[in-house]
Structure 1
Amino acid sequence: MMNDMQTNAIRFNNGAAYERYMGKWSQLAGATFLDWLSPEPTRQWLDVGCGNGAFTELLIERCSPASVHGIDPSGEQLAYARGRPALRTAQFRVGDAMALPYPDATFDLAVMPLVIFFVPDPARGIVEMGRVVRPGGTVAAYAWDMPGGGFPYEMLLAEIRGLGIAVPAPPSPDASRMNVMQDLWAGAGLVEIETRGIDVRRTFADFADFWETALGAPSVGPTLATMADDDLATLKTRVRDRLPADASGRITYDARANAVKGQVPKLRAANAH
């Protein structure tokens, strides 16, 4: 949900377009993720890379938090988040995942939804999350399995690349691998680490709905806008052929995310930070 401040390749600055393109997917995966975390109510949360607030809204609806803070580098995304009625009590600020602007041991839980592959130095980001969480608290994330083809629009991106056209990519796609996430959590000194896969399915009304939704992607829309008409027609045909519709014209397909959670040690070493 968050494009890190250090990358120019992919920027999320349109909250409404993001809501249609990725917010719905985020909530589908986020529901399973939050059930898996099974947090106690009235906890203090930090949402790292909160973007337009799609996951933050889900968090508030399902987890009865005492407080929620969200951080993201995009002021435009945060403006959209602040406009959500459910997020009136959340506190948002512009910031960087690799330098969280909070004191040590401030939160009970820090979560990173669909963000880790956008962080240029993921290890530093996880250490920062651990720093701002209290001893015994939880640090967790979920991310599309980028190398494993789990990204919801990977088929479309593959067809674009197949035409010899480069598509902007996040700086750290390997950080979404299950084993890499586990190593990052261990490297940050977290304990009681667990991982799991999350499979989700989304239905579009028809191909036009899918296509218009995909155009909201910062990695896709600008790329398609520069394509020659013939190439664009070829691309649409190829994509349509790979997205079989049911009798009503609806298109349904799956995506897969990897998730990880761990605890800040209850007896944190005095010189840990």
Structure 2
Amino acid sequence: MDVNRLPREVWGGAGAYERYVGRWSRPVAREFLARLNLPAGRAWVDVGCGTGALSAAILATADPAEVVGIDRAAGFIEAVRNGIADDRTRFEVADATQLPFAQAGFDVAVSGLVLNFVADPPAMLREMSRVTKSGGTVAAYVWDYAGGMGMMRAFWDAAIAVNPNDAKLDQAERFPLCQPEPLAALWREQGLQAVEVWAIDIPTVFRDFGDFWEPFLGQQGAAPTYLASVDAQTQERIRAYLENQLMADAAGHLALSARAWAVRGTVGGR
């Protein structure tokens, strides 16, 4: 299957996204902010805020002066507006590669699990840097699709076992910005200083196989979009392969782990 013939990935279904990966992005966001360890009273912009996992963590742990979030998906913006009630926040629909903000308007620009899903990652990073003050922080994190994000790695291993010709659709192949070296290189190429990359590992424990499998049917993101593109027989073969491969504990739980790679840099003098 040609990646260009896949249905367009759908984003904006807040409930389906939460069941798929939103629930796992919250502990990653907390670990990310703990490592940034920035002073209180800063103005933050959350680029690609989704359903608000990172914005909520900023409010809970970083004592910000303000948090402004943007996302292209109107459904996500509606969900985050309904889910976060704080007069320090503002959320609006906008493109990550064309931020509707003046230069140097924020102390911190962050992004969680978004960089691989924009058409032009360097343009997104340039915009994040542009709207950040000199000496400010620009930071992001992405899932390690190559091996560290257990639920997605298991899915793609099963999909490729069933359909070997679809190996090129694996997120590890499609999204090179999921490893430390390309992330650090991108930050440095855009002129950011004191670049640092680190791993964030969290447990992802599923109640049972259904809790693992059913979110892949929600058509939110790359793997669910792929699953929706194949016929029912192929879907069942992938499901059966996964159920056979994933080992539950005595209580029926599936204990996997997820790794994200985080990167930070400092905006130099202009």
Q: Same fold (TM over 0.5)?
A: yes
Q: Which residue matches 2:59? A: 60
Give TM-score scaled by structure 2 length: 0.88
Aligned to 1:254: 257
* 1:57-101 CA-partner distances (Å, limit 9, x unpaired): 122111111100011100011101111144564211111111111
- Sequence identity percentage: 35
Q: CA RMSD in A?
A: 2.3
Q: Which amino acid aligns with 2:240?
A: T
2:74 matched to 1:75?
Answer: yes
Matched, 1:101 2:100: yes
Q: Any idea what the Cα deviations from partners look like across 1:30-80, whole Å, max 9, x if unmatched?
A: 111111000111110000000111221122111111100011100011101
Q: Distance in 2 between matches of 1:178 and 1:207?
A: 31
The answer for the alignment partner of 1:20 in structure 2 is 19
Is 2:202 the partner of 1:185? no
Contact 1:119–1:171 (Cα < 8 Å) also in 2: no
Following superposition of structure 1 onto structure 2, how do residues 1-273 of structure 1 map, counting pairs within 5 Å? 9-87=8-86, 89-150=88-149, 152-164=151-163, 166=166, 173-216=175-218, 217-225=220-228, 227-265=230-268, 267-268=269-270
Higher helix proportion: 2
Please tell me whether the aligned partners of residues 199 and 262 of structure 2 are also in contact (alpha carbons under 8 angstroms).
Answer: yes
Where does the alignment leave 5 or more consecutive residues of structure 2 unmatched? Answer: 1-5
Measure how far apart 1:147 and its partner are: 3.2
CA distance in 2, matches of 1:127, 1:237: 44
Residues 109-138 of structure 1: CA deviation (Å, up to 9, x unaligned): 000100111122211211111110001110
Secondary structure of 2:68's partner? strand
TM-score (norm 1): 0.87
Cα 1:51–1:255 change in 2 (3 A) is same
1:4 corresponds to which residue? Answer: none
Partner SS state of residue 27, structure 1: helix
Distance 1:186 1:215, change over 3 A: same
Letter in 2 for 1:81: V
Work out whether residues 138 and 266 of structure 2, in 8 Å CA contact, stay in contact via their aligned partners in 1.
yes
Return the alpha-carbon distance in structure 2 between the equivalents of residues 149 and 170 of structure 1: 10
